Amino acid sequence: MEIFTLNNGILKAVFLSYGAILHELWIKNKNGSTINIIQGLQKPEDYLNDSWSRGAIIGRYAGRLENPIMIEEKSISIENNQGVLLHGGQSGWNTKEWEVIHDKKPNSIRFKYRCNEGNSGFPGNIEAEINYRLKDNRICLDYFATTDAPTHINLTNHAYFNLNKESTINNHELKIFSDEILELKKNQIPTGKKISVKNSKYDYNNRRVIGKNRLDDYFVIYPLKGEVGNLYQADSGIEMKIYTDQPGLVVFTPLHFDGICFETQKFSNTPNISSFPSTLVRPGKKYIQRTQFEFNLKT
């Protein structure tokens, strides 16, 4: 496991080759103190036994899939636990050592991983790459992948944020530009239906305190309008904005620690729901995903 640091004078980010993990992200708060806003683990080796995928790249399919899946009208049996594959399962990319690609671009680092055919039951050898960049007050995540056989790909980053670790996530204020969430079964697999958030606990179109409301839900955010959500903590004065080209945003606030995860991705169970934006990637085509997190101070 190797450790790498980028620092552009506004943001300092620390990465691990294991899982291509975003380990730390440092920024000044309104009092002038530099704080780490990633709710990760203290030591790099601690991630080897982490069941929460903290800071890692998720692949080859982020979210939940119901076994079997469909690929070009063919039923494919995949790895599953009680009929569900979560975040790539036992072969997930969050537990893999990624190759580091050194280039001459300032404040940029690239990680590469080859996922062999048959991984978790999926067809296709995949060449995947994640490029982390610091650009002014933004950390940019650019994902790329190619395959030599038709297969489903859905990638995301699983970092948990806390904009002031001296307080809980409860007093953070959240806004999500979304009018609908995906309806979920008891096993959290989408049914294919969308539900209006109006007059429900899921309506964050006007920024409000998270409080005791805990989330593990898929917010529908297309048609895309640039910024898709933001998070604010008054004591630190830090505001975080989320930008993505993806149609869905999973917002996850775990019960076991004070963090919030913004999983920009396509919808879960898409291979089995034809009305969802497709995750099928064919040879000769490239999977591309772009997400950015922007940080500002409000005094």
Where do the structural domains in the chain lie, given as residue ranges?
3-297
* Whole-number pLDDT of residue 102: 80
Strands of 20-172 (E only): list them: 21-28, 34-36, 57-58, 64-66, 69-71, 74-76, 84-86, 99-101, 108-115, 126-135, 138-147, 151-152, 156-157, 160-161
Q: What does the pLDDT look like over 76-108, one tens digit per residue?
A: 999 999 999 999 888 899 999 999 998 778 899
* Whole-number pLDDT of residue 104: 79
What are the average pLDDT values for consecutive 10-residue runs of the chain, which has 299 residues? 96 98 97 96 95 95 94 94 91 96 88 96 97 98 98 98 93 96 93 95 95 93 82 97 95 94 96 94 97 94
* Whole-number pLDDT of residue 225: 64
* Whole-number pLDDT of residue 223: 64
CA distance 269 to 248: 12
* Whole-number pLDDT of residue 103: 76
Query: SS3 for 119?
Result: helix
Q: Which overall architecture, per CATH, does domain 3-297 show?
A: Distorted Sandwich (2.70)
Nearest CA to 176 out of 101, 81, 251, 279 is that of 251
* Whole-number pLDDT of residue 166: 86
Name the DSSP letter for residue 101. E
